[in-house]
Amino acid sequence: MTLGCKTSADVIKAIRSEAVDMVDVRMTDMLGAWQHISYPAKFFEQDQIDEGLGFDGSSLRGFKEINQSDMLLMPDPTTAFIDPFLSRKTLVMIADVKDPVTGELYNRDPRGVAKKARDYLKSTGIGDTAYFGPEAEFFVFDDVRYGTGQHFAHFEVDSAEGHWNTNRDEGPNLGYKIRAKEGYFPCPPTDTLMDLRSEMALEMIKIGLTVECQHHEVATGGQCEIDMKFDELLAMADHQMKYKYVVKQTARKFGKTATFMPKPLFGDNGSGMHCHQSIWKGKTPLFADSAGYAGLSDMCRWYIGGLLKHAGAILAFAAPTTNSYRRLVPGYEAPVNLAWSLRNRSAACRIPMYSDSPKAKRVEFRCPDPSANPYYAFSAMLMAGLDGIKNKIEPGDPIDKNIYDLPPEEAALIKTVPGSLADALIELENDHEFLLEGDVFTPDLIETYIAYKRANELDPIRLRPHPHEFFMYYDC
């Protein structure tokens, strides 16, 4: 339930009028996970919103050192909503993070970065609003098991829809399993998750999200998508955090588990987060020009040029896990080719053609996935696009062929995304000046992010034997 609060006083009134039991304050850590702290509503005061709530920043991933650990949560009253899942009535607010010494937004706070990106766009005079519309896919499983140690490693996921269960004793097995890569748009009873997705969509609407549609996605084993209406950058990043929370909580309520891991299944589609984006000034869409290719303006073309030029650095934030690059593999379903095109889903940047309306003119950047921290990822995309506009970066000629079917000599001329998280981090290390404009990202944030990823994600994967290596090499 949304509350329409605008001020801290409005929040206190809502706490009383809605008979709220608990107040929950949530913030996003560097890796894109919600963290929270709860307060009994009976003793929650207005000055706690206005002056901030203290917490230990050294206990969160990628934040403060222990000798500088004191931080402030600054709840945003406009984000207040009633959590639909908790047994005691709970009012939730999303918070920014401030440094109590300087009084400034903490430079590593993801929401603070998104605020600075939004403000930087306005300061350039190019436009005043960047709209984003992410399409986050996810998997719903009936069971997941995994473990790792010095002498073992394993994982196993299961879904009643999975084609591997056609012969399972389900007492009785009623069939209707989804074959690999045939999960797009089947009706029930083949699609067993329609009721679950409907419940997710309706819970999203309760807390203020505008849901456009929901459907089964391509992969067997429970791949799904629920689409939200686009919104401005900061609001959309907030919505994306709510979206993931609702998906996970609703799945758990139904006795299932949901994951936004990009590639949980071998041999089938992974989960992407295609990001539609455009820039407006007031009520005027700036990406439309009836005289341009596909009705696009020069500004849109240059924005695409910026996305393609800086794609490697962007993906350090927008495809930020080692698992992301199990999805981004040349020759398979994910868009790895750094090209742009009309309607072409094999290109990194696609121009959707569902409508000729100037308001619908946008670019869809197809490489990101839903493991991304949306505040960092959307901000990085916007900063790359603005760099393209300011420097009039041409994206090259559009490619309107199926890139996967190009002759080898033509395909070799098209650059591709980084092949691993390690490569993406190198790209970010070497190409981040565009992110520093307007102090949106800072050198400290970028250096900390790269160091964290290398130490805590690259090395643990790089140093461990992979289970499939035993299959390939044990008898060597």
Q: Is the pLDDT of residue 8 over 70?
A: yes
Distance of CA 195 to the CA centre of its chain: 24
The question of whether 137 is a catalytic residue gets the answer: yes
Which residues, in sequence order, are CB contacts of 425 under 8 Å at separation 6+?
316, 450, 453, 454, 458
| The one catalytic residue among 142, 161, 225, 369 | 225
Q: What is the pLDDT of residues 245-267, one digit of tens each?
A: 999 999 999 999 999 999 999 99
3-state DSSP call for residue 455?
Answer: helix
Low-confidence winner among 11-15, 143-147, 177-181, 406-410 (lowest mean pLDDT): 406-410
d(CA 452, CA 99): 21
d(CA 239, CA 211): 11
The question of whether 135 is a catalytic residue gets the answer: yes
CA dihedral (32, 33, 37, 40) in degrees, to 10, reads 110
Mean pLDDT of 355-368: 92
**In terms of DSSP H, where are the helices of 283-402?**
298-309, 311-318, 324-327, 374-390
The question of whether 225 is a catalytic residue gets the answer: yes
Low-confidence winner among 37-46, 66-75, 374-383, 418-427 (lowest mean pLDDT): 66-75
Q: Which domains does the chain have, with CATH numbers?
A: 8-99 (3.10.20.70), 129-473 (3.30.590.10)
Tell which wins on pLDDT, 416 or 64.
Answer: 416
| The one catalytic residue among 231, 364, 387, 427 | 364
Cβ(313)–Cβ(322) under 8 Å? Answer: no
Q: What is the pLDDT of residue 343?
A: 66
Q: What percent of the chain has pLDDT over 70?
A: 99
Could you list the residues known to form a binding site for ATP, using ranges.
212, 276-278, 345, 359
Q: What is the pLDDT of residues 27-36, one digit of tens each?
A: 999 999 999 9
Cis peptide before 189, with omega less than 30 degrees from 0? yes
Q: How confident is the model at residue 294 (pLDDT cuts 50, 70, 90)?
A: confident
3-state DSSP call for residue 93?
Answer: strand
d(CA 200, CA 193): 11
Q: Is the pLDDT of residue 405 over 80?
A: no
In this structure, is the dihedral angle defined by the CA atoms of residues 251, 224, 199 and 355, taken in order, positive or negative? positive
Could you list the residues known to form a binding site for L-glutamate, using ranges.
269-270, 327, 333, 345, 366
Could you list the residues known to form a binding site, using ranges.
135, 137, 212, 217, 225, 269-270, 274, 276-278, 327, 333, 345, 359, 364, 366
Q: How confident is the model at residue 344 (pLDDT cuts 50, 70, 90)?
A: low
Q: What is the pLDDT of residue 61?
A: 87
Q: What is the pLDDT of residues 173-217, one digit of tens each?
A: 999 999 999 999 999 999 999 999 999 999 999 999 999 999 999
d(CA 154, CA 59): 29
Q: How confident is the model at residue 22 (pLDDT cuts 50, 70, 90)?
A: very high
Q: Is the pLDDT of residue 67 over 70?
A: no
Q: What is the pLDDT of residue 321?
A: 98
Low-confidence winner among 206-210, 405-409, 431-435, 444-448 (lowest mean pLDDT): 405-409
The question of whether 437 is a catalytic residue gets the answer: no
| The one catalytic residue among 83, 96, 109, 137 | 137
- Amino acid making up residue 247: V
d(CA 259, CA 204): 17
Q: What is the pLDDT of residue 264?
A: 97
Q: How confident is the model at residue 335 (pLDDT cuts 50, 70, 90)?
A: confident
The question of whether 56 is a catalytic residue gets the answer: yes
d(CA 242, CA 2): 12
CA distances from 413 to 92, 206, 396, 407 (A): 50, 49, 12, 10
**In terms of DSSP H, where are the helices of 259-373?**
298-309, 311-318, 324-327
Q: Is the pLDDT of residue 69 over 90?
A: no
Q: What is the pLDDT of residue 342?
A: 84
Q: How confident is the model at residue 384 (pLDDT cuts 50, 70, 90)?
A: very high
Cβ(26)–Cβ(34) under 8 Å? Answer: yes
Q: How confident is the model at residue 62 (pLDDT cuts 50, 70, 90)?
A: confident
Q: What is the pLDDT of residue 413?
A: 85
Q: Is the pLDDT of residue 426 over 70?
A: yes
| The one catalytic residue among 83, 109, 135, 369 | 135
Q: What is the pLDDT of residues 84-138, one digit of tens each?
A: 999 999 999 999 999 998 989 999 999 999 999 999 999 999 999 999 999 999 9
The question of whether 457 is a catalytic residue gets the answer: no
| The one catalytic residue among 197, 216, 326, 366 | 366
The question of whether 104 is a catalytic residue gets the answer: no
The pTM assigned to this predicted structure is 0.96
In this structure, is the dihedral angle defined by the CA atoms of residues 29, 32, 38 and 44, taken in order, positive or negative? positive
Q: Which of 403, 420, 419 is nearest to 411 (CA)?
A: 403
Mean pLDDT of 401-424: 87
